[in-house]
Amino acid sequence: MATVFVSHVMRRCVICCSRVVVAIALALAAFFAAPLPNGRSAQVGLTDEETLFTFKSDPFLQSVRRAAQVNRAAAASRSTANAKPASEDVVSEIDRLARIRGVHSLTNGSNQVGVTTTGTDAGQMKIRQVRFTSYKLANGLRVLLAPDETASGIAVNLSFDVGSRNEAPEQAGLANLLQNIISQNLNRTIEGEHELSRVEDSKQLQATINQERTSYFSEVTRSKLDFLLLALARQMSLPDITQTRVDEQLVVILGQCKQASEGPFGRVQAMLLELSYQKFAYKHDTICSLPDDNRVSHETIRRFFKTHYGPNNAVLVIAGDFRENDIKKAVKKHFALIPRQAAPPHVDVTNEPPITLERRQIISNSRATSPFYMSAYLTVPSDHADWYALNLLGDILGQGSTARLYTALVAQKLASAVPEGASELRGQSLFRIGARVLPGVNVEKVEAIIDAEIAQIQANGVTEGEMVKARSQERDYAAEQIRTPLGKANVLARAAIYYHDPNRINTELDRMLTVSAEDVRRVAQKYLVRTNRAVVIVQPID
């Protein structure tokens, strides 16, 4: 199943993963204890780090997984004899992340990872600044270097400012298809270099895509870095795009989409996009919007590559234990001669027509065993001040066993989880609220309770205790996302691509912590109204 580099975030880690719809389907599959599909392309391995980014980069995905962790922990306490070993859980790394909530000091071996504390008050925590250097090659390639002599390796992230939002209607699905081809080529090259491909020397190169960007990243030892940079540079300049490669990856993607659509909740997110947006950029999903005849020529893919994969449309980030002068020489050697391309066409994601009436869709599904509810409210771009208030609103509604929707639905045995969160888009983002309704419970009752909790916040606001807890959670997220060199590299790349401001790695948390309780109440009043939402409900067929 394709991973998503999402969604989305400096807030919850990096680069969002995105192949948006398929990754969300994967998250839902894991959350609902369904078996994980095997159909994802072989070149994209699901490592611990990539799993971390998949869920940490999209608040919705992360909250789904945390809710699942809470439920599994409760089940384990009731029946430890039947508990599943952690090694059997493909996404067990996210369980570890869920357990950091409330932890005020995170360590990596003997090294502090960016959080310092003075006492037990979470408000006294400070996140260490990430030091980095930024420069640009003559061909326009942006380079960010974040040296850290305490790191155990080196992380590399090469990201391009292209995602599904850059596709015209006749190009739907090309960004993901190209990403599959390039990542397949890269891993074939790496696997051919036996020394680099040894497990102890390097993790498999990962590739992720979402609506906003495409990224390729990995971790290596210092001795293997030069070869990795060479492999990435070759794919930026002379990729192997043949009809055979295209056809191979079309088969892979079609298999992923078939598995997602046949699942009990596979169409929920795609339907929400269709209902929420009118402009094509965000209306179609990243993975499964292929041509009707499922045929794409290699010439078409090559043209798309030439348009969007120029060095002047990319950022290269290297973080970890290295000497900066040595790295600059290697970057110049491998990337400086790649020719600049014409600037890609501008995509206007502003002025999305507003939702003036609630849009609702019911999906009847024979594979569903209980109802599933999901609503999406059209809000603001992720560089808007209100986006930060919406994130804290999401924490207060759904994060943890004392959150409002958890106590109103999960604790009352009306739902097994209540995923929520704001996506991170340069256009108008969606604030989503969901509920996995328990069998025998009326979904209309669950929706009414959700609406009542929102109305309570709109009328009476939130408590200072809730704000303290939400801010503490955001500090934990901020610390975790820069815990490793790969985390730092991915955050820097996302900030550079989305906002042209890599220093957001050092300022993002402050934006969160300046949100007031009145800000949270105001955004709930402004955006979380019925005439501004789309609703999708999955109903099981008896």
What tens digit of pLDDT does each residue of 65-100 get?
444 444 444 444 444 333 333 322 322 333 333 333
User: Residue with structure tokens 């590299």?
Assistant: 489
Under-70 pLDDT residues of the chain:
1-126, 192-203, 292-293
Burial class (CB within 10 angstroms; exposed 0-12, middle 13-18, buried 19+) of 463: exposed
* Amino acid 293: pLDDT: 66
Within-domain flag for 115: no
Q: What is the CATH number of the domain that holds 163?
A: 3.30.830.10
Residues whose CB is less than 8 angstroms from the CB of residue 497 and which lie 6 or more positions away in sequence, other chains included = 159, 160, 161, 212, 213, 315
Cα-based angle 453, 458, 461 (whole degrees, multiple of 5): 90
Compute the distance between CA of residue 536 and CA of residue 359 in angstroms, rounded to an integer: 9
Within-domain flag for 170: yes
126 φ/ψ angles, rounded to the nearest 5 degrees: -125, 140
Based on the structure, what is the number of domains in the chain?
Answer: 1
Within-domain flag for 376: no
Strand order, beta sheet including 214-220? 133-136, 142-147, 314-320, 154-160, 214-220, 206-209
Cα-based angle 365, 366, 370 (whole degrees, multiple of 5): 75
Within-domain flag for 455: no
Pairing state between β 206-209 and 214-220: antiparallel
* Cα 68 to chain centroid, rounded: 17
Rounded to whole angstroms, the maximal C-alpha distance in the chain is 66
Q: Element (H or E) spanning 534, and its range?
A: strand 533-540
Domain carrying residue 301: 133-335
Within-domain flag for 538: no
> Taking the CA atoms of the chain, what radius of gyration do you get in angstroms?
22
Residue 413 region by backbone torsions, left for phi larger than 0, else alpha for psi between -120 and 50, else beta:
left
Residue 306 region by backbone torsions, left for phi larger than 0, else alpha for psi between -120 and 50, else beta:
alpha
Compute the distance between CA of residue 315 and CA of residue 215 in angstroms, rounded to an integer: 9
Within-domain flag for 141: yes
Within-domain flag for 242: yes
Q: Are 375 and 432 in contact (CB under 8 A)?
A: yes
* Amino acid 266: pLDDT: 74
Contacts 24+ apart (CB under 8 A), 348-353: 348/279, 348/281, 349/165, 349/279, 349/281, 349/282, 349/381, 349/425, 349/426, 349/427, 349/428, 350/427, 352/277, 352/278, 352/279, 352/282, 352/378, 352/427, 352/428, 353/278, 353/279
Residue type at 217 in one-letter notation: F
Within-domain flag for 58: no
**What does the block give as tokens for 25?**
């389907």
**pTM of the predicted model as reported, rounded to 2 decimal places:** 0.80
